[in-house]
Structure 1
Amino acid sequence: MTAAVVLAFSLAPGAVAGDAAAPESYGLSMHGAPALPADFTHMPYANPDAPKGGRLTWGVLGTFDSLNPFIVRGLAAPQIRTYVVESLLTRGNDEPFTLYGLLAKTVETDDVRSYVTFRLNPAAHFSDGEPVRADDVVFSFALLRDHGRPLYRQYYSKVTKAEVSDPLTVRFDLAAANDRELPLILGLMPILPRHAIDVARFEDTTLAPPMGSGPYRVGAVKPGASMTLTRDPNYWGRDLPINRGLWNFDEIRLDFYRESNGQFEAFKRGLYDFRVETEPLRWHDGYGFPAARDGEVVRDTIKPGVPEPSEYLVFNTRRPVFADIRVRQALTLLFDFEWINRNYFFGLYGRSAGYFAGSELSAYTRPADAKERELLKPFATRIPPDILDGSYRLPVTDGSGRDRATLRQALSLLAEAGYELDGSLLRQRSSGALLTFEILTTTRDQERIALAYARDLKRAGIEISVRSVDPVQFDQRRLAYEFDMIQNRWDQSLSPGNEQAFYFGSEAADMAGTRNYMGAKDAAIDAMIAALLAARDRQNFVAAVRALDRVLMAGFYAIPVFSAGEQWIARWNRIETPKATSLAGYLPETWWQRVDSQAKQP
């Protein structure tokens, strides 16, 4: 194809580029400049001398019926996205949000980020040897915008024009987007081979191995059971500084397990190499088996620098039972975290009311500064004073499972919302309808928490049901919002951006397949997301994120269950890890197999 415009559509006729263009760069940061110099030799959390070879076996809880992670249909096997399909740029995992060149050798944008230009590495090619060209980039952009998951459509629809300047150069015009993160989002766009994709069938689930430009190719596949990724011996990017010390195994094998206890028993037998432990009881006293006692199994406790993963019981506010915020507040009071933490978690967890726990982005326990108050001024009457001044705290019970003080507070709120006790049952005064709902679970741990919560609610006259379903049904119902309450986690970074609209934005509430599970529709949330996207420096950005955190807390959209301040990793000692840990925590792509164990592999 000649150097011409291959895709153009107008969002703002007459829009012009912004400030003067910056020079081409080897990297791009959301705020400030990349931390690494242009001549960096490897990432600080990777071992450039790590030996190559062997196999990493990964035990995955769940199943899969598709190898296409870019569409809504099906349950796609993980790892395709990074191990097989690459993007123009890739993350530096020691920084809040900095990207370095991968398929793109350089990136260029202006100060207001009204456009972004990527110049591809001429050495880049797909696994079949075909070169990666600008046509593939524009093709991928249009394909994912029109046929991909909702988040792709949401992001890429902001682009005014995509233009191929020459076979190795593509420019995206963003003048109408008003979104400073968008150049980075485009930098993380999966690049798919134009010559190998049937657009008409792209949205169909498939087990046909996808083609990518990454370090691995899909090998053997047993639907729902296992998938093997095999190193591409002709991987074009193996000597890039960004890749030195990464992608060290000849094979990555993913074995899928339907049940968590069976998955753990398989680990104890050495059938897979590592596990991320999420069960405090198991971490506390489940590793007394011989291999762990003898040092064959190593346990690593990692404190990452990103917001702590937090679990929530999410209200689906699309349901009438949760429409009244006073009901949601009362149900939050009735969750006895202290009892659950002591009896189930050995006191290993904390809890935060916010969505960015344990980081500088969290508003919980912090008073709003002048910048936050200015952002929240149009919505000030909707933000409780204690959330604004940082004095709000989650309820603390006596841990007995029968705390009377929180029960009285909850019943008072429920009375204000129009409910009263009829004998031992809570009914709506106007209709006589019971206050009842269902908690949908998919794991034993979720079910255990839900049943404990059901016990707490029964003391207030609220009878609920707990339904446990398999992972496939759970995901299908979650994506279609066919639930009353579920347990969920929104993983957050130190640079939240466009994905916040996908998590909490009004538009996402009515769009199947988003992560706005609570159905939030709030102009204040939308305004704070817009503010964080428009922030030009870190100080204003942090203020906007904290303001978003306050609005979410004020909405009582979810009950905080716990926050995990550490990552618990158990691994067989045949797998070795770098001495340095990234800001993001553990990264299996930096691991390698101990040389003396490679010959012993089955």
Structure 2
Amino acid sequence: MAPLLREKLTGIALGVSLGILGTVAAAEPQHGIAMYGDPALPPDFVSLPYANPDAPQGGQIVTANVGTYDSLNPFIRKGRVPWQLRFFLGESLMGRSLDEPFSLYGVLAESIETGPNREWVEFTLRPEARFSDGSPVTVEDVMWSYETLGTVGHPRYRGFWDKIESMEQTGPLSVRFTFNTEDRELALLAGMRPILKKAQWEGVDFAESTTEVVPITSSPYVIDDFEPGRFLSLRRNPDYWGSDIPFRRGTNNIDEVRLEFFGDETAAFEAFKVGEVNSNREFNVARWEQQYDFPAIQSGDVVKSVLPHARPSGMTGFVMNTRRDVFEDWRVRDAMMHIFNFEFINEAMTGSAQPRITSYWSNSPLGMSDGPAEGRVREFLEPFAAELIPGTLEGYTLPVSDGSERNRAGTAAALAQMEAAGWTVQDGVMSNAEGEPFTFDILLQTGASENQAIVDMFVESLGRIGVTPTISVVDGAQFKERTDVYDFDMTYYRRGVSLSPGNEQYGYYGAESADVTGGRNLMGVRSAAVDAMIGRLLTSESQDDFVAAVKALDRALTAGRYVIPIYQWNISRIAHAKELRYPEYIPIFGDWPGWQPDVWWYESE
């Protein structure tokens, strides 16, 4: 099937949720909400535009996962949890459309109402909403969930809780949140917290990880069977309460979603080739081109789908921990950028088929512009000129090598920046004035063979400037423990961003999150300019100011040289059994949580 991607970039994509704010209507219950203006779908919409309301139900989808798990609670910091569980078990008051930058529609809530300036938001629950054990979802469950997640849950939930002035039941099925700060996004975030069954957790320590307690939720799928290190099976709940609400029509069609676990990427791929796994998302373009010729492909039993999307690149690469002395100086980080020979690595890994990430919001209208900052972007950044890293205002682009292995120009630039930072090569070793060698440790996770191959080439380049790092390869549990407390110098980093950045940016890059255990600010950014740009994008009342604030944030982060970027994926590559189908229409977010397996179905010929 030929996927269709709506032309929603620049003019249309931003227009849906970033349109210039008009006059504020009087508060009244609505079926949905957008960051700006109105949601695209009307109150009587039948289904999401990228779902097939006539899709058949049944079948199985099996995916491969590397590693293991020791917890089934995705809502706390402790433990290793299959990442998919957060989306399978976390049904919320509202649901996000993948075809709009930031619009929500009712799921557990039948309506949403806000104050004139979104200083409060009120939700009314659907009377038919039920947990998987058949008990009703109540306002008491909602309020308990918000407080529990906000106080002892995963850190991603706590920032929102701190901004709630009051939470009160306003009717048999309604609850109101009043905020203590001006922030238009809070009314939307309030609809996106998972709702759990309060009675299940009475006498149980919610913050402790375990596989003995399976969370009871109202979601379409329930955990059916599992064995850590081997598999986890989720079954479609035949008694799911919400099959006929518009947001759910045409979704959750597959009877079983099974996660198989393997020790490394090679074993996972072999399992796919022999049919133990029937859907595989491929990130290595060279493998996609060269190794997807096994018998199931040749016979047509497995098909290759290439899927477009219009979301930002985000940032993928190797992050430098600025809490550590070795990477505190931006000139040292800049030297690492120069010595990392991306063009040579890209040729070796992908045949130069993958473009490089150029900024956090590259591949989107929110990405920083080339050259010096201008207009509102410069106006927003100039008050912080004294603290900004060179290139932020003047313009910054990543170094580009000639593609040769020696990368002479990059090596020379790296040596110059190291010398400017107080490091010179002495007897073949990069050292400071006291003769202490410059070295650092690169933390990798077991089974990440592609990252290991990239790091091996990076280490070879580092040797040309007298730097010999160490490489620590640890299992998933140790990797999480160490990154949770920022016990690393450099490590692999992946941060997805969206067309509607909001409060989560404080968690990613805010100064207050830099020392939060289990936080997401791995690079340790502490920048008044970064915090101010996040504040501006949250309080902007026009499209122009919002876009300018994100572009300014993108500049500050990119010129900060915190992450050595590698390649971006502007398309998704999924090989899957021919029986697994998806709608022809692809949303602007493309292959993203909420799409596979949500709107897929299984159909035998």
TM-score (norm 2): 0.93
Question: SS at the partner of 2:538?
Answer: helix
Q: Distance in 1 between matches of 2:568 and 2:82?
A: 27
Partner of residue 446 from structure 1, selected from 427, 431, 451? 451
Q: Distance in 1 between matches of 2:206 and 2:545?
A: 41
Question: What's 1:317 paired with?
Answer: 322
Q: Is the 8 A contact 1:120 1:168 kept in 2?
A: yes
Question: What's 1:594 paired with?
Answer: 603
Question: What's 1:532 paired with?
Answer: 537
Q: Quick check: 87-96 or 269-278, which moved more?
A: 269-278
Question: SS at the partner of 2:164?
Answer: coil
- 1:445-491: per-residue Cα shift (whole Å, max 9, x none)? 11111111111111011111222222222222111211110011101
Q: Distance in 1 between matches of 2:372 and 2:305?
A: 35
Percent pairwise identity: 41
The 5 A counterparts of 1:113-512 are: 113-174=118-179, 176-198=180-202, 200-207=204-211, 208-365=213-370, 367-383=372-388, 386-388=391-393, 390=395, 392-429=396-433, 431-442=434-445, 443-512=448-517
Q: How many residues get paired? A: 576
Question: What's 2:107 paired with?
Answer: 102
Q: Distance in 2 between matches of 1:327 and 1:82?
A: 39
Q: Distance in 1 between matches of 2:494 and 2:298?
A: 33
- 1:298-318: per-residue Cα shift (whole Å, max 9, x none)? 111112111124412100111
Q: Quick check: 363-372 or 112-121, which moved more?
A: 363-372
- Return closer, same or farther for 1:314/1:171 CA change in 2, 3 Å cut-off: same
Q: Is the 8 A contact 1:266 1:272 kept in 2?
A: yes
Question: SS at the partner of 2:386?
Answer: helix
Task: Please give the root-mean-square deviation of Cα atoms over the aligned residues, in Å.
Answer: 1.6
Q: Distance in 2 between matches of 1:534 and 1:548?
A: 14
Q: Is the 8 A contact 1:86 1:212 kept in 2?
A: yes
Residue 555 of structure 1 pairs with residue 560 of structure 2:
yes
Question: SS at the partner of 1:457?
Answer: helix
Q: Is the 8 A contact 1:88 1:189 kept in 2?
A: yes
- 1:22-60: per-residue Cα shift (whole Å, max 9, x none)? 221111111221011111101111111100111221222
Q: Is the 8 A contact 2:388 2:529 kept in 1?
A: no
- 1:260 corresponds to which letter in structure 2? E
Q: Distance in 2 between matches of 1:131 and 1:186?
A: 20
Question: SS at the partner of 1:448?
Answer: helix
- Return closer, same or farther for 1:185/1:199 CA change in 2, 3 Å cut-off: farther
- Return closer, same or farther for 1:84/1:51 CA change in 2, 3 Å cut-off: same
- 2:600 corresponds to which letter in structure 1? W
Q: Distance in 1 between matches of 2:380 and 2:301?
A: 54
- Return the offset for 1:389: 5.2
- 1:227-267: per-residue Cα shift (whole Å, max 9, x none)? 11112121110011111110001111111122100000000
Q: Is the 8 A contact 1:85 1:211 kept in 2?
A: no
Q: Is the 8 A contact 2:128 2:241 kept in 1?
A: yes
Partner of residue 564 from structure 1, selected from 569, 585, 592? 569
- 1:345-382: per-residue Cα shift (whole Å, max 9, x none)? 11121123311121011105265342212211211234
- 2:504 corresponds to which letter in structure 1? E
- 1:489-508: per-residue Cα shift (whole Å, max 9, x none)? 10111101111111111011
- 1:479 corresponds to which letter in structure 2? D
Question: SS at the partner of 1:99?
Answer: strand
Q: Distance in 2 between matches of 1:270 and 1:225?
A: 16
- Return closer, same or farther for 1:366/1:575 CA change in 2, 3 Å cut-off: farther
Q: Is the 8 A contact 2:334 2:561 kept in 1?
A: yes
- Return the offset for 1:434: 0.6
- 1:44 corresponds to which letter in structure 2? P
Question: What's 1:16 paired with?
Answer: none
**Structure 2: 5+ residue stretches without partners:** 1-23
Question: What's 2:46 paired with?
Answer: 41
- Return the offset for 1:221: 1.4
- Return closer, same or farther for 1:454/1:539 CA change in 2, 3 Å cut-off: same
Q: Is the 8 A contact 1:352 1:364 kept in 2?
A: no
- Return closer, same or farther for 1:268/1:204 CA change in 2, 3 Å cut-off: same
Q: Quick check: 196-205 or 559-568, which moved more?
A: 196-205
- 1:131-162: per-residue Cα shift (whole Å, max 9, x none)? 11111111111111111011211221110000
Q: Distance in 1 between matches of 2:230 and 2:116?
A: 49
Q: Is the 8 A contact 2:391 2:559 kept in 1?
A: no
**Structure 1: 5+ residue stretches without partners:** 1-18, 597-602
- Return the offset for 1:111: 3.6
- Return closer, same or farther for 1:199/1:369 CA change in 2, 3 Å cut-off: farther
Q: Distance in 2 between matches of 1:78 and 1:314?
A: 21
Q: Quick check: 394-403 or 74-83, which moved more?
A: 74-83
Q: Distance in 2 between matches of 1:168 and 1:89?
A: 15
- 1:79 corresponds to which letter in structure 2? Q
Question: What's 1:579 paired with?
Answer: 584
Q: Distance in 1 between matches of 2:278 and 2:314?
A: 23
Q: Distance in 1 between matches of 2:328 and 2:371?
A: 28
Question: SS at the partner of 1:381?
Answer: coil
- 2:603 corresponds to which letter in structure 1? R
Partner of residue 52 from structure 1, selected from 47, 51, 57? 57
- Return the offset for 1:83: 2.4
Q: Distance in 1 between matches of 2:352 and 2:129?
A: 50
- Return the offset for 1:515: 1.0
Q: Distance in 2 between matches of 1:266 and 1:20?
A: 55
Question: SS at the partner of 1:241?
Answer: coil
- 2:411 corresponds to which letter in structure 1? L
